[in-house]
């Protein structure tokens, strides 16, 4: 677990859990949205999977809350 403040966090540290976990000798990662990805055959492969996932998320178009609900 990461016990450090992120940029812009001045208050008490929020709870953060490990994103990578192991079940039956197979590795997975979970997203903030509750999506689990895997299995990977090593922790290192799961870490690479997290980085790839985050890269793809950054490529997605951003939606503004002011545009939601307009139809």
Closest of 32, 36, 59 to residue 46, by C-alpha? 36
Instruction: With respect to residue 70, please indicate whether it lies within any of the assigned structural domains.
Output: no
The answer to whether the pTM exceeds 0.75 is no
Instruction: Return d(Cα 36, Cα 42) in angstroms, integer.
Output: 15
User: What is the tens place of the pLDDT at every residue in 4-54?
Assistant: 555 655 555 444 568 899 999 999 999 988 899 999 999 999 999 999 999
Domain with 35, as residue range(s), is: 20-56
Instruction: With respect to residue 48, please indicate whether it lies within any of the assigned structural domains.
Output: yes
Rg (CA), the chain: 16
Q: Is 38 exposed, middle or buried (0-12, 13-18, 19+ CB in 10 A)?
A: middle
For the chain, what is the domain count? 1
Instruction: With respect to residue 5, please indicate whether it lies within any of the assigned structural domains.
Output: no
């Amino acid at each position: 677990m990461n016990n450090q403040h992120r940029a812009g966090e001045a208050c008490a540290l929020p709870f953060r859990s490990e994103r990578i976990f192991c079940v039956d000798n197979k590795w997975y990662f979970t997203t903030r949205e509750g999506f689990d990805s895997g299995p990977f055959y090593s922790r290192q492969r799961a870490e690479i999977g997290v980085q790839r996932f985050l890269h793809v998320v950054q490529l997605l178009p951003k939606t503004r809350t002011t545009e939601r609900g307009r139809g």
